[in-house]
Chains A and B, each alone.
Chain A
Amino acid sequence: MKGVLENSMLQEKILWQRVEPGLEVFVLPKQGYNKKYATYSANFGSIDSHFIVEGENEELIVPDGVAHFLEHKLFEEEGGNVFERFARLGASSNAFTNFNNTSYLFSCTDHFTECLEILLDFVQSPYFTRESVEKEKGIIEQEIRMYEDSPQWRVFFNLLTALYREHPVKKDIAGTAESIRQIDEEVLYKCYRTFYHPSNMAVFVVGNVEPERVFSQVAENVGRRGYRRLGEIKRIYAAEPKPPARDCVVQELVVSQPILNLGFKEEEVGFDGERLFRREALTGLVLDCVFGSSSRLYNALYEEGLIDDEFEAAHVAEKDYGHTLIGGETKDPDRLYQRLMEGIRQAQAEGVSAEVLAHHQRKLMGEFLKSFNSLEFIANNFPAYHFKGINFFGYLETVRGLTLEEVNERLRTHFAAGNHARSVILPKEKPGA
């Protein structure tokens, strides 16, 4: 199976092919760029901690932080680490784990074929020993400690724990210093065998490359490994009640001023694909109208000194959860909360006009075009949306197709009574100027 995704406005096209046993490969040729960038992603993130593989009876619950731990350990191989092999070719490699996916990547200017071969090889060659797993715990613990001191990270995760009672999205991606101590090589291998099957993965390449050569190289590399067909992975998420778990979570940290994050929890979940994408684009547009930098609310809050230009509102739409986050640093989190709620009610009462809708559609389309300068932006987003059954290229058409009626409907229903929670960071002590 193969095909082409084209977008005339972006003036870009993606060629794709499905290679045996079920790995999706995408190539976006970018002439003129020196950089070539490739990602190899698994549809496996921090929320996938409870699952069954078809054909096996065993229900598995793994320690928090295992997807991220596995990401660290795949870079190790017998007698060395993968960074050095990339380094010899002048390439740089990295990886990241989020709630839903794990991605391995490299960026290079020369030796693309060799680099791609290393990427495919190392992700498909797990090598975990008791000693190396133990050694990694010290490194990851320092990574966790670093995030414990990050006010933006803390305010965000505290909000998730306020919004969600059961869903694992409320847990830190890296786990905790305690949970990672329970990880051993055996659990890493189990997760690896389940989630790193090619049919649960995707390769994305962007840069000045020849698509056909990429397809044949990937097919050859994956084909020689004798994969068996993988049964369906059943991911188990405990039933999440609709109301948030708590109204408000407060934490004290060494910061210069408080931070407020206000969250609205999605009530209708359980679907993906174009329907989810449309709702995501719709919500983004609503947020831009109500909280964007040209909105009345934003400017009033700015003039009152309640927000700064880092203030933002963003929406997350996944199959099994979704939420909107609004906030930033503020001198008065209670007052900001009250003003945001008033502003939302006022926006709901007034509604969005056709003129304002057209204005924001044009703005969002311009921003999307701009983001296509970044090879990383494309390569990091496309596979994540692909795993949700979404063609990321379709964003422009989706935004253009949004109607006034649905915008106003979404504005009324998304900010309903009883679906929000707050997270507040307060200064622990007076830091020096």
Chain B
Amino acid sequence: MSDLQRFALLGGMNLFVHRTNKFKTILAQLVFHRALRREDVTATALFPAVLQRGSAGFPTRQLLAYRLEELYGSELSAEVVKKGERLLVSFCVELVNDRYLPGEKGLLARCLEILSEVVARPVTEGQAFRLEYVSQEKEQHEKVIRGLVNDKAAYALERCLQEMCAAEPFGVFKYGTLAELATLEPENLYGFYRRFLAESPVDLHICGEVDALEVKELAERIFSFPRNGAAEIPVTLVRKQDGEVRYVREEMDVNQGKLVLGFRTGIKYGDDNYFPLLMYNGILGGFPHSKLFLNVREKASLAYYAYSRLEKHKGLMVVSSGIEAGNYGRALEIINRQVESIAAGEVSDEEFDNTWQGLRNHLLVEDDHQELVVNRAIDGELAGCLEDTDGLLARLAAVKPDDVVRVARDVKLDTVYFLAGKEGGRG
């Protein structure tokens, strides 16, 4: 298990040091928090790509890549993740711990310097990003937005959530829109970025075999860009479903139909009911022993995959399955029957125990992956329940079968989305 220490750094940055000796690498993740808003999501998703094109010290992509490779293949990446109605922009660097490199020292400091350099010292032309970088990254970003359709399962999932949360911030696509993208120029994007950097609350997570105090000193020295962390982030709206179920059907020339059901649970991470809901989801569709896998796949042979999963910060659950378009009615009926059966109390001791064991396994295994260690801390911090593995295991162990049935009654179907193949579309 990793040992977590937390420091408040000068300039309002929170530092989390996850100290563990099991990894050969160190992961440093700098996380900025932003409210998820239609009007600035596109700019938020675009500027990290511009930053990765080069910095004052390494002004081209090639020089930056060469420098990282020189540091034993250290990797710098950026990602945008939606957690509830909040957008997290992360810049990560993953490096080999120099304990494994004979004769090497100070690799972490050099990598953190690059991370800070890329985030805070971009290549500029006056009060603007370099025009060439912005126009090229706009073109790349346009492909990212349009590229959603390339993975049909991911597309169907996103479309279901967009339909379901059309009137809520959560329905916003994290990469933004083509219309917004067209309005972004080197000047206004740079202005946005400066405000983003100054205002957004920011955390730094470091996971690996490191000395916490040494890391604290490094971080204070290296991440010295001015910031006030003053931006406000509204609380994610979690609501219960009370209206009619919506049915959305879309046609595309595909071989396999994708069925996605969106449910509202009214329960988010950090609530007392969250662990019962986690058990509920596991019993329904989290595992190969779950009701969905057994009934949709093993018994009815309708699908290769059928699972459910939680959107833990928004109080949603989705069920997803790839089926033959003609089996839509049958598959929907079988899925609905599984959902109803839990609410009716049909949970065997074996289903309950297997799910508990499986979730326990998941929690323990998270400790073996640096990015999951960090992600769990981010989730915990967001929900105000930052707990270690033992604490989470205890919460899981406290769940009783009655609790599962109780939360099952709150899980209500909101939207059924079906991506159907066109008739005669199969070659």
Chain A residues proximal to chain B, CB less than 8 Å = 9-11, 30-35, 81, 83-84, 87-93, 107-110, 135-140, 142-143, 145-146, 148-151, 254-257, 292-296, 298-299, 302-303, 305, 308, 329, 331, 359-360, 362-367, 369-370, 372-373, 375, 428-429, 431-433
Q: Count how many chain B residues have C-beta atoms less than 8 Å from C-beta atoms of the other chain.
A: 71
The listed residue (A139, A148, A305) touching B140 by CB distance below 8 A is A305
User: Known contacts A10-B100, A359-B66; can you find 20 more A-B pairs with CB under 8 A?
Assistant: A32-B20, A34-B365, A92-B361, A93-B288, A139-B301, A139-B303, A142-B322, A143-B304, A146-B304, A150-B152, A255-B150, A256-B146, A256-B150, A294-B65, A302-B136, A362-B73, A367-B73, A369-B100, A431-B149, A433-B146
- Among B21-29, B163-171, B235-243, the one that faces the other chain is B21-29
Binds A, one of B40-48, B118-126, B186-194, B349-357: B349-357
Interface residues of B in 31-84 (CB under 8 A from A): 60-62, 65-66, 69-74
Residues 88-104 of B, flagged 1 when their CB comes within 8 A of A and 0 if not, give 00000011100010100
Assembly CA distance A150 to B356 (angstroms): 34
By the criterion CB–CB under 8 Å, are B357 and A255 in contact?
Answer: no
Name 5 A/B residue pairs within 8 A (Cβ), A-sorted. Answer: A35-B365, A84-B354, A139-B301, A298-B62, A431-B252
Interface residues of B in 135-149 (CB under 8 A from A): 136, 139-140, 143, 145-149
**Structural contact, A299 and B60, CB atoms closer than 8 A:** yes
Q: Is the CB of B368 within 8 A of A142?
A: no
Q: Are A363 and B72 in contact (CB under 8 A)?
A: yes
Interface string of B360-382 (1 = CB under 8 A from A): 11001101111000000000000
Residues of A within 8 A of B364 (CB): 34-35, 109
Q: Which residues of B contact A298 (CB under 8 A)?
A: 62
Q: Would you call B367 and A305 a contact (CB within 8 A)?
A: no
Residues of chain B within 8 A (CB-CB) of A296 are 62
Contacts known (A108-B361, A148-B256, A299-B61); A369 close to B72, Cβ less than 8 A:
yes
CA distance in complex: A433, B140 (Å): 14
Pick the contact of B150: A109, A151, A363, A372 (CB < 8 A): A151
Q: Please, how many angstroms separate the alpha-carbon atoms of A92 and B357 in the complex?
A: 10
A149 touches B254 (CB 8 A): yes
Instruction: Determine how close the nearest CB of chain B comes to the CB of A149; give it in whole angstroms.
Output: 5
Contacts of B140 in A (CB 8 A): 305, 308
The answer on a CB contact under 8 Å between B370 and A373 is yes
Given contacts A87-B354, A87-B358, A142-B323, contact A365 B297 (CB under 8 A): no
**Distance of A387 Cα from B298 Cα, bound (Å):** 33
Picked from B20, B66, B153, B304, the residue with its CB within 8 Å of the CB of A140 is: B304
In the complex, which of the residues A92, A146, A255, A375 contacts B322, with contact meaning CB atoms closer than 8 Å?
Answer: A146
**One of A92, A138, A293 near B358 (C-beta < 8 A):** A92
Complex Cα distance A110/B393, Å? 14
Residue of B nearest to A299 (CB): B62
Contact of B24 among A93, A293, A373 (CB under 8 A): A373
**Which of chain A's residues have a CB closer than 8 A to the CB of B356?**
90
Which residues of chain B are within 8 angstroms of A91 by Cβ–Cβ distance? 361
Using Cβ atoms and an 8 Å threshold, which residues of chain B touch A31? 22
Residue among B139, B145, B153, B303 facing the most chain A CB atoms (10 A cut-off): B303
Decide if A9 touches B100 in the complex (CB within 8 Å): yes
Q: Provide the residues of chain A in CB contact with B343, threshold 8 Å.
A: none
Contact, CB under 8 Å: B73 / A363? yes
Of the candidates B74, B152, B297, B370, the one whose C-beta lies within 8 Å of that of A139 is B297
Residues of the A chain whose Cβ atoms lie less than 8 Å from the Cβ of B369: 373
Cβ of B302 within 8 Å of any chain A Cβ, yes or no, is: yes
- Interchain CB contact under 8 A, A145 and B256: yes
Q: Is the CB of A433 within 8 A of B178?
A: yes
* Minimal Cβ-Cβ distance residue in B for A82: B288
Please name all residues of chain B whose beta carbon is closer than 8 Å to the beta carbon of A148 when the two chains form the complex. 255-256
Q: Is the CB of A254 within 8 A of B149?
A: yes
| A431-B69 contact given A138-B302, A142-B322, CB 8 Å threshold | no
Q: Distance (Å) between the CB of A214 and the closest chain B CB?
A: 19
Q: Does any Cβ of A come within 8 Å of B129's Cβ?
A: no
Query: A7 CA to B350 CA in the complex, in Å?
Result: 44
Q: Are B358 and A329 in contact (CB under 8 A)?
A: no
CB-CB < 8 A to B263: which residues of A?
none
Residues of B within 8 A of A331 (CB): 143
Cβ proximity bits B327-360 to A, threshold 8 Å, 1 near / 0 not: 0000000000000000000000010011011101
Check B178 against A84 for contact (C-beta < 8 Å): no
A111 to B208, CA, bound (A): 28
**How long is the Cα–Cα vector from A365 to B100 in the complex, in angstroms?**
11
Q: Which residue of A lies closest to B152 (CB)?
A: A149
Q: In the complex the two chains form, what is the Cα distance from A219 to B66 in whole Å?
A: 50
With A33-B22, A308-B143 known as contacts, the answer to whether A370 contacts B253 (CB < 8 A) is no
